Amino acid sequence: MAKPIHATEQDFRAEVIESSQPVLVDFWAEWCGPCRMIAPVLEQISAEHGDKLKIVKVNVDDNPGPASEYGVFSIPTMILFKDGKQTERLVGFMPKQALLARLGKHVQLS
């Protein structure tokens, strides 16, 4: 059962850009209500689909570099990376099924 990985500015490239599997990066912060709402959804997706999709969480307060580099202006913002490139950007809370539907366009989750 996979769990989301907490990445820093130092290991972002290794965890995300150089990953051999698709990666959903969750840009979040402790004080963000919608970020806290989507956290358990991402935990479930990671547990159910961790063999096909890696979930990486980046705290924007502690690690502002990646958020700045990828133009994250509001949180939660989730960016799907495949082969080191952005393929989907999702902003704000969304229910699990809606999130899976958007990700399913790019990653075979079933």
Q: Tens digit of pLDDT for each residue in 35-80?
A: 999 999 999 999 999 999 999 999 999 999 999 999 999 999 999 9
Read off the tokens for 94.
């969304």
Containing structural domain, residue 61: 5-103
Query: What confidence score (pLDDT) does residue 1 get?
Result: 65
Q: Where are the alpha helices (DSSP H) in 50-80?
A: 64-69
Please give the order of strands across the beta sheet that includes 23-28. 5-6, 54-59, 23-28, 77-82, 85-91
Whose structure tokens read 């004080």?
31
Euclidean distance between CA atoms 78 and 71, whole angstroms: 12
Residue 108 lies inside a defined structural domain of this protein: no
Is 32 one of the annotated active-site residues of the chain? yes
**Catalytic residue list contains 109:** no
Query: Quick check: is 73 in a domain?
Result: yes
Asked whether the bond before 40 is cis by omega within 30 degrees of 0, the reply is no
Query: Among 16, 32, 38, 55, which one carries the catalytic annotation?
Result: 32
CATH (domain of 34) = 3.40.30.10
Catalytic residue, chosen from 16, 25, 35, 94, is: 35
Q: How many percent of the chain have pLDDT more than 90?
A: 95
68 within domain boundaries: yes
pTM of the complete model: 0.96
Residue 22 pLDDT exceeds 70 = yes
Whether residue 110 is predicted with pLDDT greater than 80 in this model: the reply is: no
In a domain, 109, yes or no: no
**CA dist., res. 43 & res. 105, Å (int):** 20
